[in-house]
Amino acid sequence: MGLAHLGFCISEGVTTLPKELQKNGYYTALIGLSHETINNAPPIAERVFSSTTALGYDDYIPVPGERAPQVADRVIDFLVQHQHDARPFYLNAGFFETHRDFDEYQSVADAPADVEVFDFLPDVDAVREDIALFNGALKVLDSAVGRICAALDETGLCDNTIVVFTTDHGVAFPLAKGTLKTAGLETALIIVLPGKAAVTGRRQALLCNIDLMPTLLELIGAECPAGLDGKSFASLLQSQRDEGRASFFTELTWHDKYHPMRGVRTSRYSYVKNFADGPRVYIPVDAHLSPSGQVVRERLYVPNVPEELYDLHQDPLERNNLIDHPDYQAIAARLRESVANWMRDSADPLLNGPVDGVESRRWAEEIAAGRAYPGREAWGRLHSDDSTG
């Protein structure tokens, strides 16, 4: 429903991958960044990390700033320490990169003239400079992950370790992160299986990150708990097949402002139902204030519409809304019904009206008043205000 440090948390009773691995005898650890909390987690000042045990971690190793080089240092120490353990382990390493701001990566940034501009953004100097800095952050992250992979080789752990690299949403640029468009939903996913278990190559199958839990549990021979929405794609990794999901559901409620949307996506179509007025395209505050955001945000201030439908084959950038097109009414009706059924079956709180986010709403007010960017700086003031009355 919203950000972990703004009062939203995983519902009680919902299982997690670390919990399931604990049940199967794994030692579980978290190093660096994680953005999940559970069971009414406390505010940000106390959350480091009160909920890690509830999430299923036996150990939590904090890394101040959570920058990739320092996280990699701690991960390598962990691998060396546990390389001879008889008990299997699960290690989740979280990196700050590629969150904004990107200014700290100036020394490793690409030359703006050399970057490849995202096809959903205009090719102008400010956007090129923004992407050049983003690429610098990627280089730092890539180097850190490379060091971790080298340590797996050096310790011999690569022979019996599954490695997964993924992200939680699209890139932090306008028309990407914070939207239900391809650029907002598309995540990186690289999986390396030990030995000769995997068939190498790139897959085009439609997958979702909720599919990772059942996939990993199947790969280690563990039982998958009942009631999961995810579907294992283990067979995809061990064959030349390229078949994934027929569809998956999409949603946004809160980030730094309220912009509730629900949708469904197939390999051909994307349908979105909007539940609030406001601008057609929501831009998270970090991207809104970025050089790229300053270029495009004015033209995105157009009124929202109740529904959207895009033909991804004909319109991959999702610019031509077909919801009222006579030739697409049967498709719109089918996808609309699919979303309605999903919301009902999942007891979506939007069915009962707007979803309040007390801390998110206050954060949005701070941003609107120009007192917070991108919000981290406001927390001392917000909670100081709480304590003083």
- Whole-number Å distance between alpha carbons of 210 and 230: 5
Task: Identify the segments of the chain with pLDDT beneath 70.
Answer: 5, 39-50, 196-198, 358-389
Produce one character per residue of 95-116: b if its CB has 16 or more CB atoms within 10 Å, e if not: bbbbebebeebeeebbebeebe
Residue 347 DSSP SS3: coil
> Among 245, 274, 307, where does a domain finish?
245
Residues 191 and 340 in one domain: no
pLDDT of residue 386: 39
Q: Where are the beta strands (DSSP E) in 7-162?
A: 27-32, 59-61, 89-94
pLDDT at 364: 60
Question: Are residues 149 and 29 part of one domain?
Answer: yes
Note whether 93 and 80 are same-domain residues.
Answer: yes
Residues 295 and 317: their CA atoms lie apart, in Å, by 18
Q: How far apart are CA 261 and CA 241, in angstroms?
A: 33
Are residues 212 and 260 part of one domain?
A: no
The Cα-based distances of 93 to 47, 164, 169, 356 in angstroms read: 18, 10, 17, 32
Q: What is the pLDDT of residue 202?
A: 86
- The CATH number of residue 220's host domain is 3.40.720.10
| CA distances, 333 to each of 255, 298, 308, 337, 339 (Å) | 29, 33, 12, 6, 10
Report the alpha-carbon distance of residue 343 to residue 346 in Å, rounded. 5
Considering 216, 245, 274, which residue would you say is the last residue of a domain? Answer: 245
Task: Note whether 118 and 145 are same-domain residues.
Answer: yes
Extended strands (E) in 316-360: none
pLDDT at 124 (0 to 100): 96
103 shares its domain with 134: yes
CA distance 209 to 212: 5
3-class secondary-structure state, position 316: coil
84 CB neighbour count, 10 Å cutoff:
9
Same domain? 45 vs 165 = yes
Pull the structure tokens for residue 374. 């991108």
Sheet holding 247-254, edge to edge: 247-254, 258-266, 269-274, 307-311
Tokens of 66: 């959570």
- Pairing, β 258-266 against β 247-254: antiparallel
At 371, which CATH number? 3.30.1120.10
Give residue 40's region: left, alpha or beta (phi > 0; psi -120 to 50). left
**Are 380 and 360 within 8 A, CB to CB?**
no
Same domain flag for 176 and 311: no
Q: Model pTM?
A: 0.88
Q: Which two tokens stand for residue 59?
A: 């150990």
Strand (E) or helix (H) holding 22: helix 17-23
Q: Which residues contact 255 (CB under 8 A, 6 or more apart)?
A: 2, 3, 178, 282, 284, 360
Query: φ, ψ for residue 94 (rounded to 5)?
Result: -115, 135
Domain co-membership, 286 together with 353: yes
CB-CB contact of 54 with 45 (8 Å): no
Same domain, 44 and 169: yes
Q: Last residue of a domain, which of 230, 245, 260?
A: 245
* Range(s) of the domain holding residue 119: 4-245
Q: How many domains does the chain have?
A: 2
Asked if 85 contacts 22 with a C-beta cutoff of 8 angstroms, the reply is no
Do 229 and 157 share a structural domain? Answer: yes
Examine the domain organization and report whether 48 and 170 are in the same domain. yes
Helix (H, G, I), strand (E, B) or coil at 11: coil
